[in-house]
Amino acid sequence: MDLTFSRRSALGLLAGAAVLPGQAFALTDGQASSLINNLVGEINRVIASGKSQTAMYPDFERIFQKYADTSTIAAYCFGVDGRRASAAQKTAFKDALIGYVARKYGSRFREFIGGRLEVTSAAPLKNFYEVKTIAYLKGQSPFEVSFHVSDSSGKVLFFNMFIEGVNLLLTERGEIGALLDRNGGDIDKMIAALRRAS
């Protein structure tokens, strides 16, 4: 997909800075590690369940809602266009995004069948924690999956994920912007398309 840098994407990057987690309260490396250990444990159980890919999606959606700061993620991915969205559109977008992320990343996690994720470290980074994990897949070299964790929402949650260095927030912000462009800037049509996307 061509994610050509545009005026709208430039404005989006500036607007997105305002929705990233602010000052953390009293988050510790133990709390950050515990969150991701629990998250990884649930992902590993779904992977090992033997369910079909389609049957796994509701599980991944539930996990995403439980462990992710979905409000921060949705606001960042919506970007500058979120400013012109109604409250109802913002809610509909967040719901559609949760399902889309569960399908898209659930498909990727299904590649881990017969493998596992292991937490390796947690360290403060700016005003949040970075928790690193290693993915072990059969027949492939291990690779890193890392999570950014904050308690700025009042709960310890992750707000970003990197798979082999690919940034979830930036990737999905670009995808949403491109989807909105393809739908002529119509937010409702973009949300409808997002519900069908994977």
Contact residues for 54 (Cβ-Cβ < 8 A; gap 6+): none
What is the structure's pLDDT at 103? Answer: 87
- 131 vs 66, 111, 124, 125, 140, CA distance in Å? 17, 21, 9, 10, 22
What's this model's pTM, rounded to 2 decimal places? 0.81
- The letter for the amino acid at 43 is I
Going from the N-terminus, what domains does the chain have, and what CATH number goes with each? 25-196 (3.10.450.710)
pLDDT digits (tens, 9 = 90+) for 129-163: 999 999 888 888 999 999 999 999 999 999 999 98
Residues in the chain: 198
Both structure tokens of 96: 């559609």
pLDDT digits (tens, 9 = 90+) for 38-87: 998 898 888 888 888 888 889 999 999 999 999 999 999 999 999 999 99
pLDDT digits (tens, 9 = 90+) for 50-62: 888 888 889 999 9
Both structure tokens of 102: 């569960």
